[in-house]
Each structure stands twice: as structure tokens, then as C-alpha cells.
Structure 1
Amino acid sequence: MAGDPKPISAAARHALEQELADLRDERRLVAGTLQDATDVGDQADQADQLRRADQLDRLDRRIRDITERLRQAEAAGPPSTDVVGVGSTVTVRFPDGVQETLQIGEAAEAFDQNLVTSDSPLGRALLGRHAGDSVHFDTPDGPSSAEVVSIGDVQSA
């Protein structure tokens, strides 16, 4: 992860901490199934051992990535409430009058319907904006726009 440390929202921090705990539990289970190399029998056993060792490597990489991301987020401090950035909570109003509160994140989570990635068209348009700014972005249905209502805590409609 290059550049300055980026803050993350409380919800994103919680999700990463939960994923980290789950990965550590999974790692303990996988590590417990690995056998001493001298105890490995036939080729099928050896192939199973290699698969588990690969799985352990994958888990270790993800654990390192999450740990580093959480460390960077801690160094960055809380998300700004002055300008939209990664980790910001942003309330926007669309041309039809609908207001939505969104999180600007680094990666999409299937379960989080209010997360907008920083590299999506809307996410890119919102980065660096202030409350009151209008943004324009492309959608699959054509050009669209929104107004930044607030940055930070959820605003009541």
C-alpha cells in the first residue's frame, strides 16, 4: 500500500478486525492439520500437505496485509470531516432528491451496500470534495450528479 497512510471508518476497522480474528482461527486449524514431513505417506498425502502449506501461506499473507492496514489506519488517525477521503462517511443528495449516507472505502465488501470504493466513478468524483460541492460521474445508465450534503456523522434527512 503506497503513499500516505489512509484512515478507515469505524465500520471498516471493525470488519478488518473481525476478518483478522477469523483468519487467525482458520490458520490455527490448518496449522494443526499439517503433519511432520517424515510422517507423510503416499503421494496423495504429500499433495494434501502441499495444499495445506499453500493455504497456510495464503492465510499468513492476508494476516500480514490486514495487520499492516490497521497499523497504517492507526497512524493516519480518524477520517477528515472537512474533505472527502478514503474512510470518510459522506451524505449525498441525488437529483431525484434521494439522500444516501455512504462510506468511501478501498475495497468493496459484498455485505456492505453503503460502501463506495475510492476507485469507482462516484468514489473518484467525491474524493477531495467538501460539503456543498456538486460532483458529476458516469453510471451504466449515463452521466449523473450528486451534491455533498455532509461529511462525517450521519445527518438526518
Structure 2
Amino acid sequence: MNQGQYFSPEGLEKLKKELEERKYVLRKEIATKIVEAKDLGDLAENAEFTEAKEMQAFNEGRIEELDSILKHAQLIFKPSGGIVEVGSTVKAKSPMGEHTFTIVGASESNPVQGFISNESPLGQAFIGQIKGNEIEVRTPKGFVKYKILEVL
């Protein structure tokens, strides 16, 4: 059973817009390219036709993927308590300094901007913790300790 991925309202809206664009705009553009390529003649040696059909296959695959993701998506609501959960912003201190992380679903993660996946080792270690707790996370360079300073 597919449990779905977590999304912020903004992330979910972005996927919905992509789906609409692919269904109602890109599909028509690709269909036009296929018709134009057919008009060029022999389909066996028609690079334009082959390319348009490949674009069509990719687009239809992505539409199916987006439909499935949206069907099973779990919306992240702003957490209400002081416990770290998906959607929480965590201020933490490590030997490298203070950090601010927001726990998001895997599709929206961007570690450089401080958005970490709930499925990542760091995200998993933060989930369920409260202010004042210390966690230890295994990284490629060894273990790193974090002290949770604040849960927003």
C-alpha cells in the first residue's frame, strides 16, 4: 500500500500546476509536433517523428506519476506542539555551529536551503524529539551530535 509522500501546501500546488501544464498544454504541443512530423513523409527514417513520440511517452509517463503522487499525497499541516514532526522547523547546535532545519517530505528537500527530508538520517533522528534533547547522527564523515535549541 502506498502511504504517500509529504508535501507543504506550496509543494502540492506546484505539482498540481505541473500536471495541468502537462495535460492541457504540453500534450497539445506534442500532438501538433507528431502531426507535423508525419507530414514530412517516411516515418521509418523520420527523426522529428521519433523525437515527438519519445516526448509523448515521457510526458504521459510523468502525467501518470503525478496523478499517483497527488492521489496519495499527505499534506503537511503546521505542527502545533513542541515535538519535531514533518513540517517543524528546528533550531539546533552542533560542533559546526547553529543550524535551522525544516523537516519536509522527500520531494521538497533541499539541504542547501535547510529543507531536510523526513526520510534522511538527520530528519529521522529529529522526528519525535523535543527542545533540549540531544541526538547523534551518522554522516559520511562520522557521527555528529546536535542539541535541539528550539522547535517551531
User: Under a length normalisation based on structure 1, what TM-score does the superposition of the two structures give?
Assistant: 0.68
How many residues are matched? Answer: 145
Distance 1:114 1:121, change over 3 A: same
Residues 94, 145 of structure 2: 8 Å contact kept: yes
More strand by share: 2
Residues 27, 59 of structure 1: 8 Å contact kept: yes
Number of the residue aligned with 2:18: 19
Distance 1:65 1:130, change over 3 A: same
Deviations 1:64-85 (CA, angstroms, capped at 9, x unpaired): 2222222222xx4544725655
Residues 9, 103 of structure 1: 8 Å contact kept: no
Aligned partners of 1:60, 1:112: CA distance in 2, in Å? 32
Number of the residue aligned with 2:145: 145
| 1:51 partner amino acid | E
Distance 1:108 1:9, change over 3 A: closer
Distance 1:89 1:23, change over 3 A: farther
> Which blocks of at least 5 consecutive residues in structure 2 are unaligned?
none
Residues 34, 49 of structure 2: 8 Å contact kept: yes
Residues 95, 145 of structure 1: 8 Å contact kept: yes
> Which blocks of at least 5 consecutive residues in structure 1 are unaligned?
none
Q: Percent identity?
A: 19
Aligned partners of 2:21, 2:38: CA distance in 1, in Å? 30
Deviations 1:91-123 (CA, angstroms, capped at 9, x unpaired): 131225524131322236669723223333212
Distance 1:84 1:69, change over 3 A: farther
Give how far 1:18 is off: 3.5
| 2:11 partner amino acid | A
Number of the residue aligned with 2:104: 104
More helix by share: 2
